[in-house]
Structure 1
Amino acid sequence: MTLLIIALAAAPALAIAVFIYWKDKYDPEPKKLLYTSFALGMASCLPAVLFTICFKALGFDEASHDVLFSLVSCIIAIGLSEEGSKYLMVRYYAFKKPAFNEPFDGITYSVMVSLGFATLENFLYVFKSDSPLQVALLRMIFSVPGHAAFAVIMGYFLGLLKMGKTHYGWVGLFAAATVHGIFDFCLFNAEQYSGLMLFFIVVFYLMMRFSLKAIRIHQQQSPFKTQH
């Protein structure tokens, strides 16, 4: 059973990583940079926790009974903390590498960092749960693909930043943080508010649609496309 749970916790990230690497078909990234980005994603869990503690010390509370304040808290204390930590890893490591030389690379490196984060988070949640198999299955379906979608949003704009579109990196960060916060707000409050789970499904569907479209757009914008 333990091996099954480990496989379920790790498999989603591996599958998504392979998918993104396959989509980066015009100028694939050096594997060493991808592995390092994945490891940095795991490391980004620590600053994310510290940021969350700081925001909660300022009064943000995602468990608040005030619906609007709970939503804002999810966006700030969770979304901004986690996506901000990932952003720092991509922006100040991968973004500066010569291999980061086309728009799609923003998606590739952001997803690798995010999958590292999601994998470590997965293991922490699964193995501290009283129902590890159920948690592993639910996170395989929603949480890991969710983290990947947040990364595509952020990476799409980092790709535009690399093309010289000033300030787009910050746009990507705050867009990813906002969507992440809405995503978590829906999950935290689905049982309390009727209809919220339906809204969550719509949000999840739109995230996946945007992710696939963003991937296609940046593939088409690759300067290496004409060489194939």
Structure 2
Amino acid sequence: MIQAATAPIIIGLFYIYIRDKYEKEPWQMLIWGLLFGVYATFVIYGVGQWVERMFPLTDMPFAAAFLQAALVEESVKLLFLLALLARNPQYNEPFDAIVYAVFISLGFAWIENIVYVTHPLWGGIGTALARAVLSVPGHGLFSVQMGYWLSEAKFAGRKVGWLLAFLVPYLYHGWYNYLLLADVPGAEVFLALLMGLLIITSLRYMSKLLKKSPFRPTGEKLSQK
């Protein structure tokens, strides 16, 4: 089960590493990013437990989705990402923020995945497959949004990016959780549309930031995929 929980994480990390085509980050920093995500898991768990005690929202799926999960997870991951990027000399091109954001997010998703798939009641291969299709890609895509807006704030001077780096992944994550938790007609359709929108915008954001790389050869054509 641990292998099943780890495999989609490795695929996601490898994909984002390959996409960083002009100046790859040193492996030491990537390991730090992964470890930051692992450590963030325990912080998120502790804060999440406190929020659940203070605001029990068991019968309120909308509030639970946006407050107990999305708010805690995205705010903690953003703080860890900012800490990793602060005074990091390797953060020298726009795409780097996406790389580090994904490594932190998938470090968190790795531990979360292991907990879920090895759980004696609701774990197993079915859970592993479902999370490989939805949860792990979801975490990775949320972090692409976060990294994009951080880079827009730093490299493009768009100050609103500091706010959107939290707000955009938070809203995506909140709606994602709500559509999974709520018993509403057509939830599966809306979830598929949400994931489709995430994939399309994330691919466009990655291509856009790669085009802005100062290490990109002049005149090179860049695929949108």
TM-score, length of structure 2 as denominator length: 0.90
**For residues 161 and 96 of structure 1, do their structure 2 counterparts lie closer, same or farther at Cα, with a shift above 3 Å needed?**
farther
Q: Output aligned runs, 1:44-55, within 5 Å.
A: 44-55=40-51
Deviation at 1:18?
Answer: 0.9
Are the aligned partners of 2:2 and 2:118 in contact in 1 as well (CA < 8 Å)?
Answer: no
- Secondary structure of the equivalent of 1:44? helix
Give the letter aligned to residue 206 of structure 2.
I
1:214 corresponds, among 202, 205, 208, to: 205
Task: Please list the CA deviations of residues 19-39 of structure 1 after superposition, one character each: whole Å capped at 9, or x if unmatched.
Answer: 111111111111100011001
Give the letter aligned to residue 166 of structure 2.
L
Q: Verify: 1:39 aligned to 2:18, yes or no.
A: no
Task: Please list the CA deviations of residues 130-156 of structure 1 after superposition, one character each: whole Å capped at 9, or x if unmatched.
Answer: 341111111111100000000001011
More moved, 108-117 vs 43-52: 43-52
Are the aligned partners of 1:26 and 1:225 in contact in 2 as well (CA < 8 Å)?
Answer: yes
Q: What is the aligned partner in structure 2 of residue 111 from structure 1?
A: 102
Q: Verify: 1:142 aligned to 2:134, yes or no.
A: yes
Q: Output aligned runs, 1:1-16, within 5 Å.
A: 5-16=1-12
Q: Verify: 1:99 aligned to 2:86, yes or no.
A: no
Unaligned runs of 5+ in 1: none
2:174 corresponds, among 167, 178, 181, to: 181
Name the count of aligned residue pairs.
217
RMSD: 1.6
> How many angstroms apart in 2 are the aligned matches of 1:91 and 1:186?
29
> How many angstroms apart in 1 are the aligned matches of 2:201 and 2:38?
25
Q: Output aligned runs, 1:164-175, within 5 Å.
A: 164-175=157-168
> How many angstroms apart in 2 are the aligned matches of 1:84 and 1:60?
20
- Secondary structure of the equivalent of 1:102? coil
2:16 corresponds, among 20, 25, 32, to: 20
Are the aligned partners of 1:80 and 1:174 in contact in 2 as well (CA < 8 Å)?
Answer: no
> How many angstroms apart in 2 are the aligned matches of 1:60 and 1:91?
30
More moved, 139-148 vs 180-189: 180-189
Of all paired residues, the percent bearing the same amino acid is 29
- Secondary structure of the equivalent of 1:96? coil
Deviation at 1:167?
Answer: 4.3
TM-score, length of structure 1 as denominator length: 0.89
Deviation at 1:177?
Answer: 1.2
Task: Please list the CA deviations of residues 94-131 of structure 1 after superposition, one character each: whole Å capped at 9, or x if unmatched.
Answer: 34300001110110000000010000000011111434
> How many angstroms apart in 2 are the aligned matches of 1:212 and 1:39?
25
Q: What is the aligned partner in structure 2 of residue 86 from structure 1?
A: 77
More moved, 215-224 vs 111-120: 215-224
1:154 corresponds, among 146, 150, 155, to: 146
Give the letter aligned to residue 199 of structure 1.
F
> How many angstroms apart in 2 are the aligned matches of 1:175 and 1:60?
25
> How many angstroms apart in 2 are the aligned matches of 1:76 and 1:214?
27
Q: Verify: 1:64 aligned to 2:59, yes or no.
A: yes
More moved, 70-79 vs 14-23: 70-79
